[in-house]
Copies of this chain bind each other. A is one copy, B any other.
Amino acid sequence: MTAPQRPTIPAPDPQAAEPLYRQVYQRLRDAIAKGVLKPGDRIPSARALMAELGVARGTIESAYSLLAAEGFIQARGQAGTIVAPDLPSQHMPAVLVPPAKAVTAAPSFRPETTLPFQMGLPALDAFPRKIWARLGARCVRAMQPADMAHPPVAGLPSLRAEIAAYLHVARGVRCSPSQIFVTSGYRHSLALLAQSLLQRGDRVWMENPGYPPTRELLTRLLLKPVPVPVDADGLDVAQGQRAAPRARAAVVTPAHQSPLGVSLSLPRRLALLDWAKRQEAWIVEDDYDGEYRYVSRPLPALQSLDRDGRVLYAGTFSKVLFPSIRLAYVVVPEALVDRFERTAEIITGGSPQLTQAIVGAFIAEGHFARHIQRTRKLYAERRAQAVAALEQVLGRSIRIDEQPGGMHLILRLQGRRSDRKLVERMLAAGLYGEALSDWTQGRVSDPAVLVAFTNIASSRDATQLARRLQPLMA
């Protein structure tokens, strides 16, 4: 052989998941990174490597084109292709960038992996993925240059119009599309609200027990959450007035209180609206799962009773579609539209055009309303199945709250057992659960564990899960 000696490139593995061209690319990059191929070295011609590795010429060319695009190699015409001579030393790590580090355990409210009883998740098996994929493919293909520029910060007009029409029919919310601000999730909605309406140090009523992320976020936003007790009629407005009469806002979950599941009664709704009117305070209606009521029609939103422009309605697509979509919205009173537009211009860049377009099409073509109708029935069944199985297997060690709606169960622990300790044992056993104590400021008189039923697909699964839970109750 007369060819100059050169390092051998290992052959790619045709069985591997990674495309062949990318394996070749990676092997050459490794060789450069490790100094096996040095700056200025000539690299094998595509033809030579093709013969050596037994892969198609196009495969080699794709790999070379990628290496060239990233600046690792340079074509020198007749002289062949060389490793870039001016590749600075910091571009050549001794070892390659390590693979993504396993993400450390996240706080319990948003785990990385999905466990049985996982809270906050809709029935993932019931989502019409084929329809979604068809709409998604259509929307991504339809993208025109005009769709690529900065999206309107308040949301795509077509999506805002669909949301307004849907809310009108389904939740009794009256608004024009211009009152709707699309956000990238509930936390973003709350931040937009706080930035538009509140000052640091403002006191904000929060339900006790209540959704812990709301408290954490309000605190981060330099606001002062004031816990207000919840009873069978929902937030106790009179107690709120005693604790912090001049609070500037109240965050409430009127449809199904989070986590107790009770509905805010009509007298309480009127009392809350009256307080807000007199104090010029704001009511944030977190209607995260208002659609899911099983014993009668969903209650109209609190917003529909508001005559004074005090209610800000916060909705989300996390529960009715799926969480990884990252799309939510706030409906603001007409008089606040300009103020929210100004805030949104400063603190947000808008939500992705593509996901907004897909959701808009999903609503416009009726899939959204049908999906909610279908999951409402499904959840009523799954709830009943889960309750039956848990009651049968666990007997008197628990009592399950009767709730008119929602996406989780409250298992009251009989006797004076610690809900936190039970949750620890559940997580150790690969079962999800949240302790009511962790949702509560101060003492809990009645320990309970919260578990979701939405992804328990059959009676048999429910019984099996109950049996896994049983030994942990001892």
Q: Which residues of A contact B (CB under 8 A)?
A: 19, 22, 25, 62, 65-66, 68-72, 86, 88, 90-91, 93, 96-101, 103-104, 106-107, 110-112, 114, 118, 120-121, 124-125, 127, 129, 132-133, 136-137, 140-141, 143, 145-154, 157-158, 160-161, 164-166, 168-170, 172, 174, 176-178, 184-188, 191, 195, 200, 213, 216-217, 220, 222, 297, 300, 304, 318, 322-327, 338, 341, 343, 345-355, 358, 364-366, 369-370, 372-373
CB distance from A161 to the nearest CB of B (A): 4
CB distance from A118 to the nearest CB of B (A): 8
The complex places the Cα of A69 from the Cα of B168 at a distance, in Å, of 14
The complex places the Cα of A165 from the Cα of B347 at a distance, in Å, of 30
The complex places the Cα of A158 from the Cα of B101 at a distance, in Å, of 10
The complex places the Cα of A65 from the Cα of B373 at a distance, in Å, of 11
Residue contact A373 to B168, C-beta cutoff 8 Å: no
A373 / chain B contacts, CB cutoff of 8 Å: 68-69
Residue contact B355 to A177, C-beta cutoff 8 Å: no
Residue contact A143 to B172, C-beta cutoff 8 Å: no
A343 / chain B contacts, CB cutoff of 8 Å: 220
The complex places the Cα of A91 from the Cα of B165 at a distance, in Å, of 10
Residue contact B124 to A161, C-beta cutoff 8 Å: no
The complex places the Cα of A325 from the Cα of B62 at a distance, in Å, of 26
CB distance from A267 to the nearest CB of B (A): 19
The complex places the Cα of A416 from the Cα of B145 at a distance, in Å, of 38
The complex places the Cα of A154 from the Cα of B104 at a distance, in Å, of 11
A297 / chain B contacts, CB cutoff of 8 Å: 71, 86
A184 / chain B contacts, CB cutoff of 8 Å: 184, 326, 348-349, 351-352
Residue contact B137 to A136, C-beta cutoff 8 Å: yes
Residue contact A326 to B347, C-beta cutoff 8 Å: no
Task: State whether A101 and B355 are in contact (beta carbons under 8 Å apart), knowing that A187-B347, A188-B348 are contacts in the complex.
Answer: no
Residue contact B103 to A152, C-beta cutoff 8 Å: yes
Q: Can you name the residue of chain B whose Cβ is closest to the Cβ of A215?
A: B346
Residue among A90, A140, A153, A178 having the largest count of chain B Cβ atoms under 10 Å: A140
A326 / chain B contacts, CB cutoff of 8 Å: 151, 184, 349-353
Partner of A348, one of B124, B185, B324: B185
Pairs A–B under 8 Å by Cβ, sample size 17: A97-B164, A97-B177, A100-B160, A100-B177, A106-B152, A110-B150, A110-B345, A114-B149, A148-B323, A151-B323, A151-B326, A185-B348, A187-B346, A187-B348, A213-B346, A324-B353, A325-B354
CB distance from A457 to the nearest CB of B (A): 11
Partner of A365, one of B22, B114, B125, B136: B22
A151 / chain B contacts, CB cutoff of 8 Å: 323-324, 326
A300 / chain B contacts, CB cutoff of 8 Å: 88, 90
Task: State whether A188 and B349 are in contact (beta carbons under 8 Å apart), knowing that A71-B169, A143-B133, A326-B151 are contacts in the complex.
Answer: yes
Residue contact B143 to A140, C-beta cutoff 8 Å: no
The complex places the Cα of A127 from the Cα of B140 at a distance, in Å, of 14
Partner of A352, one of B62, B347, B352: B352
A65 / chain B contacts, CB cutoff of 8 Å: 366, 370
A346 / chain B contacts, CB cutoff of 8 Å: 187, 213, 216-217, 220
Q: Can you name the residue of chain B whose Cβ is closest to the Cβ of A66?
A: B366
Q: Can you name the residue of chain B whose Cβ is closest to the Cβ of A191?
A: B347
A350 / chain B contacts, CB cutoff of 8 Å: 185, 324, 326
CB distance from A348 to the nearest CB of B (A): 6
A170 / chain B contacts, CB cutoff of 8 Å: 70-71
CB distance from A318 to the nearest CB of B (A): 8
CB distance from A467 to the nearest CB of B (A): 24
The complex places the Cα of A104 from the Cα of B118 at a distance, in Å, of 43
Task: State whether A154 and B103 are in contact (beta carbons under 8 Å apart), knowing that A136-B140, A322-B148, A365-B22 are contacts in the complex.
Answer: yes
Residue contact B372 to A103, C-beta cutoff 8 Å: no
CB distance from A145 to the nearest CB of B (A): 4
A217 / chain B contacts, CB cutoff of 8 Å: 346-347
**Given A93-B174, A104-B338, A106-B153, 20 more contacts at CB 8 Å?**
A22-B365, A22-B366, A65-B366, A66-B370, A68-B373, A69-B369, A96-B165, A97-B164, A101-B176, A103-B178, A132-B140, A148-B323, A151-B324, A185-B348, A187-B348, A217-B347, A220-B346, A326-B349, A326-B352, A354-B355
Residue contact B200 to A161, C-beta cutoff 8 Å: no
